[in-house]
Amino acid sequence: MKLALFDCDGTLVDSAAVIHTCMERTFVDFGAARPTLDLTKSIIGLTLDLAIAQMLARPVDEEITAMTARYKEHFTLHRETGGAPEPAYDGILPLIDALAGRDDVILGVVTGKSRRGLDAILANHGMTKSFFVTRTADDCPSKPHPAMVLECCAHAGITPESTVVIGDAIYDMQMAVNAGARGIGVAWGYAPVDALHAAGARHVVNRADEIAALI
């Protein structure tokens, strides 16, 4: 039996546009320079407070805590006012359906998103029931800490050695290495392929339909 743990942003769905818009609005609210899209993409995968701190090149402090809360307000407003949902990447929905139907694979999600944010995305794309176990920024320390992977392994009763982490960020690959799991990078997300390899990816795929055979 294998445990396949998917990242969310940049792996299952393309959420960069939504995240960047909320970051821009948050930074403007606090008198900070608007971040570039590349800067925003570079922190996707981290928990929100650490992401903003890294963007501003300083430790988490009271203002960054306040910015984190403001970002969540902007994100909630985006949802409540009918903002465009994050689209699933090509081939992801068929892949998840196929893997969920296998007897030798258990599926999970490990993400720096909030529980509320993850639940909304999974529900929007009809993927909620496909995932047996999930861990979010509300549950565990930020990637690349191994807690998300290790807690999912414990919940599923599967060892890290029988677990694969599928993600687009260096933090995903580093988390896999730290947990003793195998990392599969995806080339369609927000990190360069060479960076994924350098962070410990065993494989990097270009299409979603390549993943099933590697699990």
- Domain range for 38: 16-80
Residues 207 and 174 grouped into a single domain? yes
Buried b (16+ CB within 10 A) or exposed e, 136-150: bbeebebbbbbbbbb
Residues 169 and 193 grouped into a single domain? yes
* Residue corresponding to tokens 């009809």: 126
Residues 166 and 203 grouped into a single domain? yes
Full-model pTM: 0.94
29-85 tens-digit pLDDT: 999 999 999 999 999 999 999 999 999 999 999 999 999 999 999 999 988 888 888
Instruction: Identify the domain boundary among 80, 107, 131.
Output: 80
pLDDT of the residue at 79: 85
Residues 122 and 39 grouped into a single domain? no
**Residue 64 in contact with residue 56, Cβ under 8 Å?**
yes
Q: What is the mean pLDDT of residues 126-149?
A: 98
Residues 147 and 65 grouped into a single domain? no
Q: Domain with 98 in it: what CATH number?
A: 3.40.50.1000
pLDDT of the residue at 80: 87
Residues 39 and 118 grouped into a single domain? no
Q: What is the mean pLDDT of residues 108-116?
A: 96
Residues 101 and 190 grouped into a single domain? yes
Sheet architecture: strand order including 182-186: 133-135, 105-110, 2-6, 163-167, 182-186, 203-205
Q: How confident is the model at residue 105 (pLDDT cuts 50, 70, 90)?
A: very high
Residues 114 and 202 grouped into a single domain? yes
pLDDT of the residue at 85: 87
The CA-based angle 67-83-63, given to 5 degrees, is: 0
Residue that wins the pLDDT comparison between 129 and 85 = 129
Residues 56 and 141 grouped into a single domain? no
CA distance 125 to 107: 16
pLDDT of the residue at 198: 98
Residues 64 and 102 grouped into a single domain? no
Residues 191 and 206 grouped into a single domain? yes
Residue 14 has pLDDT above 90, yes or no: yes
Q: Domain with 70 in it: what CATH number?
A: 1.10.150.240
Domain count along the chain: 2
15-30 tens-digit pLDDT: 999 999 999 999 999 9
